[in-house]
Amino acid sequence: MPRLLEIFLTLALSVVALPLGCLVALLVWAGLGRPIFFRQVRSGQGGRRIVISKFRSMNEDRDESDALLPDEARTNAIGRMLRRFRLDEIPQLLAILRGDLALVGPRPLLPETLRAFGNDAVLRGRVRPGMTGWAQVSGNSRLTDAEKVALDLWYVDHRSAALDMSILGLTVVTLLRGEARAEARIRAAADVLRRRAVEAPPSSLSPGRP
């Protein structure tokens, strides 16, 4: 998506998001207390470290050994509602305007999570991470990590302004209807990954004749 179009769309969304964000901040303060925001370092384009901000959707409750309780035990109705409609991600509009995020792209992941995917993580990092992406409209939490990476790589190979606009539209549909696995998209992404593995050149470390 052209940067100017992305900035225009982000500013247009901000007109609605600003008052909505103020309401969300009040809900978080009333239902979960302080701090209102959750910040975490993630991997950006080319592996550059970026700071991602969200409205907090979980409390900090701990057990007797001072370990955090499981995620399910640390959220409430407010937190679940924020996650269901992705309202916790409203602060990321600022990251789009800064250029750290794109409106559409692979979601920014923790550096240690990406390291497990080796070269696939490098290919995935060729584009700016996004606020929504191909994996998020194809199942999101119903996908395995491997399926998400395959969908992200499919997006990197096929990205275009038209695809980005389609993903934005599908994001609205997903917010209204809920998440569902898009099996055809998942299979297509897996096929691309398999073909890439078959076509990959042999390793330069392979033994040769003296």
pLDDT tens digits for range 3-52: 999 999 999 999 999 999 999 999 999 988 889 999 999 999 999 999 99
Residue matched to tokens 């057990």? 63
Per-residue model confidence (pLDDT) at position 201: 60
- Assess if residue 205 is contained within a domain: no
| Within-domain flag for 121 | yes
For residue 61, name the pLDDT band (cuts at 50, 70, 90).
low
What's the whole-number mean pLDDT along residues 90-94?
A: 97
Determine, yes or no, domain membership for 39. Answer: yes
Tell whether 210 is covered by a domain: no
User: What integer is the mean pLDDT of 112-130?
Assistant: 91
Q: Residue 18's domain spans which residues?
A: 3-199
What is the number of domains present in the chain? Answer: 1
**Is 131 contained in some domain?**
yes
Mean pLDDT value across the chain: 89
Q: Is residue 166 part of a domain?
A: yes
Alpha-carbon span 156 to 145, nearest angstrom: 17
In this structure, are strands 37-43 and 49-55 parallel, antiparallel, or unpaired? Answer: antiparallel
Q: What is the pLDDT of residue 114?
A: 86
Asked if the model's pLDDT at residue 204 lies above 60, the reply is no
Residue 14 forms beta bridges with which residues? none
- Domain-embedded: residue 82: yes
Sorting pLDDT into bands at 50, 70 and 90, what band is 177?
Answer: very high
Asked if residue 72 is part of any domain, the answer here is yes
User: Maximum distance among all alpha carbons in the chain?
Assistant: 73
